Structure 1
Amino acid sequence: MSPRIAPVLQTKRLLLRPWRADDAPRPGQERDEISERFMPANAQPGPAMPWDQWFARRQRLTDSGEIVCWCIADAGTDEPLGDILLFGFDENIRGNAELGYWLHTNARGHGYVDEAVEEVVRWAFEQGGVTRLHAGTDTDNIASQNVLRRAGFRQWGNDRANWTRMDGTASDGTFFELLVSDDRDAQRAVPPPTLQTDRVWLRPFCTRDGERMTQVQADPITRLWFNSEPRTVAFNRERAAQRSLIDRERWGIWWAICAPGSDELAGGIGIQNIENGEAEIGYWMHPDARGQGLMTAALREITRWAFAEGGFRHLAVQVADGNAASVRVALGADYRPVGAWHQREVLGDGRVVDLLAFDRVP
Structure 2
Amino acid sequence: MRFPDDVPVLTDGVVTLRAHTIDDLSRVVEQCRDDESLAWTTVPTPYDEADGRDWLTRAIPSAWADDTTYAFAIEVGGRFGGTVDLRMKGGGEGELGFGLHPDVRGAGAMRRALDLLLDWGFDTQGVEVVTWKAFVGNWASRRTVWNLGFTFGATVPRLLPQRGERRDAWTGWLVRGDDRTPSTPWYEPPVLEQDGVRLRPWRDDDLPSLVEAGNDPLVRAWIPATPLPRTLEDAPDYLLLVRLAHAEGRRVGWCVADAATDRPLGSLGVFDFEGSGDDVTAQLGYWSLPAGRGTGAMATGLDLACGWLLRTRADGGFGARRLYLLTSVGNAASRRLAESAGFEHVGTERLSGPGHDGAGWADSALYDRLR
- Could you say whether these structures have the same fold, taking a TM-score greater than 0.5 normalized by the shorter chain as the test? yes
Give the deviation of 1:297 after TM superposition.
1.8
SS at match of 2:324: strand
How many angstroms apart in 1 are the aligned matches of 2:243 and 2:222? 25
Give the CA RMSD over aligned residues: 4.5
Please tell me whether residue 29 in structure 1 is matched to residue 33 in structure 2.
yes
SS in 2 for 1:266: strand
* Overall identity of the aligned pairs, in %: 18
What amino acid is the match of 1:295? M
Aligned equivalent of 1:165: 161
Q: Deviations over 1:339-358 (max 9, x none)?
A: 133273155x4423513322
- Alpha carbons of 1:307 and 1:32: their partners in 2 closer, same or farther (altered >3 Å)? closer
Are the equivalent residues in 2 in contact too, given 1:16–1:116 (CA < 8 A)? no
- Count of aligned pairs between the two proteins: 343
Q: Does residue 336 of structure 1 match 2:344? A: yes
Alpha-carbon shift at residue 279 of structure 1 (Å):
1.7
Superposed counterparts of 1:188-267, under 5 Å: 189-198=186-195, 200-227=197-224, 228=226, 229-231=229-231, 232=233, 233-239=235-241, 241-242=243-244, 245=246, 247-248=248-249, 251-267=250-266
Match of 2:134 in 1: 137
| 1:277-330 Cα shifts (integer Å, max 9, x gaps) | 322111223332332222212222322333322333332212234433222211
Q: State TM-score, norm by structure 2.
A: 0.70
Residue matched to 1:358: 367
Unaligned runs of 5+ in 1: none
Inter-partner Cα distance in structure 1 for 2:222 and 2:354: 9
- Secondary structure at 2:334 match in 1: helix
**Structure 1 Cα separation of the partners of residues 8 and 267 of structure 2:** 45
SS at match of 2:62: helix
Judged with a 3 Å threshold, the aligned counterparts in structure 2 of structure 1 residues 246 and 25 are, in CA distance, closer, same or farther, namely closer
Distance 1:256 1:180, change over 3 A: farther
User: Is the contact between residue 204 and residue 236 of structure 2 (CA under 8 Å) also seen in structure 1?
Assistant: no
Using the TM superposition, give the Cα deviation of residue 126 of structure 1 relative to its aligned residue in structure 2, in angstroms. 5.8
- Residue aligning to 1:298: 301
Q: What SS class does the counterpart of residue 62 from structure 1 fall into?
A: helix
CA contact (8 A) 1:209 1:237 kept: no
Partner of 1:287: 290
SS, match of residue 153 in structure 1? coil
- Aligned mates of 1:308, 1:160 — CA distance in 2: 39
Distance 1:331 1:210 in 2: 30
Give, in whole Å, the separation in 1 of the partners of 2:107 and 2:185.
Answer: 12
- Quote how far apart the aligned CAs of 1:115 are: 4.5
Task: Answer whether contact 1:6 1:70 (CA < 8 A) is retained.
Answer: no
Paired amino acid for 2:181: R
Kindly provide the CA deviation profile for residues 243-278 of structure 1, in whole angstroms up to 9, marking residues without a partner as x.
5x4533xx3222332334554443321210112332
Mapped to 1, the partners of 2:8 and 2:209 lie a distance apart of: 45
Shift of the 271–152 alpha-carbon distance from structure 1 to 2, 3 Å rule, reads farther
TM-score, scaled to structure 1: 0.72
User: Bigger radius of gyration, 1 or 2?
Assistant: 2
Q: Deviations over 1:38-87 (max 9, x none)?
A: 65xxx42259xx92665532331134343343568998997x9xx64322
